[in-house]
Structure 1
Amino acid sequence: MVMTDVPAKIVYERPEALDPRVTHYCPGCTHGVAHRLIAEVLDEMGETGNTIGVASVGCSVFAYNYFNIDFVEA
């Protein structure tokens, strides 16, 4: 089988709870991975509209820019 005969398969879709903008985190930082995992769980549980995030201090303070949920700052 030639590789071009293999149909393309979607292996990742951005969760709806995650805003489509590019994050400011440093390469290799796992904040983006944590955001994706949290957003996936919120989508799976259907709790996006019932969730309030708390942005901590430091580089993660801008988390409110990356989620489609309400946020407050700590």
Structure 2
Amino acid sequence: MKFSNNKRINKLVNSLIKSGWCFKKGTKHNKLVSPSGHIKTIPGTPSDWRAAMNFVKDIERAQERKQA
């Protein structure tokens, strides 16, 4: 399934879903829900060149909160 136009984001979302995160389809934005309940919005058509890096950092922060 294609979650984003960005290859890096798409790959990350696919791996997160395989590792236990949940995908929620929204009317405008799709979301990822972590096993601990944190919700992250998936940038579907990122126009900013930093969008993939920012999304990766958001996911890393959510995973750190889960472990702490």
Q: TM-score, normalised by structure 1?
A: 0.31
> Which of the two has higher C-alpha Rg?
1
Q: Bigger relative contact order, structure 1 or 2, given CA contacts below 8 A and separation 6+? A: 1
